[in-house]
Amino acid sequence: MKLYKAYAKVNIFLKITGKRDTYHEIVSRFMLVSTLYDELSFVPKKDDKNEDKFEIYGTFSCSVEQNTIYKAYVALLASLDEHKAASLKNLMKKYAINVEKNIPSFAGLGGGSSDAATFLKMCNEVLQLGHSLNELAFVGEKVGADVPFFVYGYNSANVSGIGEIVEEFNEDLLCFDIFTPKLEISTPRVYKSYRDNFYSPIDAFEAEKLKKRSSSDILKTMKADEANDLFRAALAEYKELKNYYREGYFFSGSGSSFFRVKERIE
């Protein structure tokens, strides 16, 4: 069966711009990591008796119902008319989703969101559902804030709002050294700590300036805690994180991964 690559991302910068109900509004530069990806494929189910169960083969620490791929399936079903929904249900009666998991979980690299987006695109292609990328991104938004970026498939993009506004940023793709401590970080916990102890949103003028700067320039001129508003909150909540920090590295998302530029990809 055809293999689909679900790429990781890093946050070159991540700044808070305000609040929206219980969410935080952000401005961030997402850049795809071309050397790190999960591989997804449809495979025949191992047991015919499991026809009515949505099955995912792979190494996951969560239940199927908690998996972003399953959540993407539910959201996609809700977006379809009766005929197309029946086609999707029939597909998932016969096939399971096989995931070769290479992107670490709880790492700030977007693995779950990328898997969800890739599943949406797989179904759209195989079943010829006819959803545009905008429509798939709208479905993906219901699964997670980072999913729309992966739906669009840009190498680099400015992401704002609560993740639903994705604007392609034309620049050279960078290659990264990434290391991920064996530390499971809770994104809600980090955001709560930021809101309670570090809340200092940037204004629209500063946000626009950041959106125009290249990723390479930002990484040359900013430090880890300047580029990512969540870094100090993560350090406050997970004291052991400071033992893993290395000079010259940056913090992706709410963690726990650190990255730096290795070389430029031609």
Q: What is the mean pLDDT of residues 85-114?
A: 95
Please report which confidence band the pLDDT of residue 52 belongs to, taking 50, 70 and 90 as the band edges: confident
Cα separation, 225 vs 129, in Å, equals: 43
pTM of the model: 0.93
Longest dimension (CA), the chain: 58
Average pLDDT, integer, range 94-101: 96
User: How far is CA 252 from each of CA 30, 106, 157, 212, rounded to the nearest angstrom?
Assistant: 9, 11, 15, 20
**Mean pLDDT value of segment 60-77:** 94
Query: Structure tokens of 186?
Result: 């809770």
3-state class (DSSP) for residue 81: coil
> Taking 50 as the threshold, does the pLDDT of residue 266 lie above it?
no
> Has residue 265 got a pLDDT over 50?
no
Distance CA 37, CA 115 (A): 9
Handedness of CA 199, 204, 205, 211 (dihedral sign): positive
The residues annotated with a catalytic role in the active site are: 9, 146
Q: State the pLDDT at residue 108.
A: 93
Span 228-241, average pLDDT: 96
Across the range 140-145, mean pLDDT stands at 94
Question: What pLDDT is recorded for position 256?
Answer: 93
Q: Residue 260's beta-bridge partner residues?
A: 177
Is 61 or 68 the better-scoring residue by pLDDT? Answer: 68
DSSP 173: P
Lowest mean pLDDT among 20-29, 109-118, 218-227, 229-238: 20-29
3-state helix, strand, coil in the chain (%, to 5): 40, 25, 35
Percent of the chain beyond pLDDT 70?
98
pLDDT level of residue 21 (50, 70, 90 thresholds): confident
Counting residues of the chain whose pLDDT is more than 90, the rounded percentage is 87
Mean pLDDT of all residues in 232-244: 96
Tell which wins on pLDDT, 127 or 63: 127
**Average pLDDT of 39-64?**
88
Query: How far is the C-alpha of 227 from the C-alpha of 29, rounded, in Å?
Result: 10
155-195: per-residue pLDDT in tens? 999 999 988 999 999 999 999 999 999 998 999 999 999 99
